Amino acid sequence: SVSATTRSPRVGEVDGVNYHFLTKEEFKQRIAEDDFLEHAEVYGNYYGTPKSSVEKMLDEGKNVILEIDIQGALKVKEKATDGVFIFILPPSMEELKQRIIKRGSETPESLMTRFKSAYKEIN
């Protein structure tokens, strides 16, 4: 499933492939219309899983894989009690930090915020 977000695309990301890139106004409208299976505000941007795409795949008899954070997984688990949930850890906290730095999209402050959050989620 392709998630939706209000953050700006990173270099090489394609709308509809990596994410559905929406404005905050569009995202909030879709929240009001109950269009998301789950959604959250993370680091000042919204992220969510469109219900319609998940429902379409399930109707077609397909298994659906969602790449979502802990907040999203907990919300989905409330609705999909028969789902299988897998938490994939990075090889190490240092490796995670290097991967985030390599994206080139973080300020020193946002990097620290993300790293603290990841540490809490992992531990």
Torsion on CA atoms 65, 28, 121, 96, rounded to nearest 10: 70
Q: Is residue 85 part of a domain?
A: no
- Element spanning 71, H or E: helix 70-79
**Domain coverage including residue 40:** 4-79
Residues 44-54: tens digit of each pLDDT: 999 999 999 99
Residue 8 and residue 60 in one domain: yes
Number of independent structural domains in the chain: 2
Residues 52-61: tens digit of each pLDDT: 999 999 999 9
Residue 98 and residue 69 in one domain: no
* CATH classification at residue 59: 3.30.63.10
What mean pLDDT is reported for the chain?
92
Share of the chain above pLDDT 70, in %: 100
List strand residue ranges (DSSP E) for 10-66, in order: 20-21, 36-42, 45-50
Residue 61 and residue 108 in one domain: no
Record the pTM: 0.78
Torsion on CA atoms 7, 10, 12, 17, rounded to nearest 10: -20
What does the block give as tokens for 28? 């909030």
Residue 23 and residue 58 in one domain: yes
Highest mean pLDDT among 25-34, 38-47, 79-88: 25-34
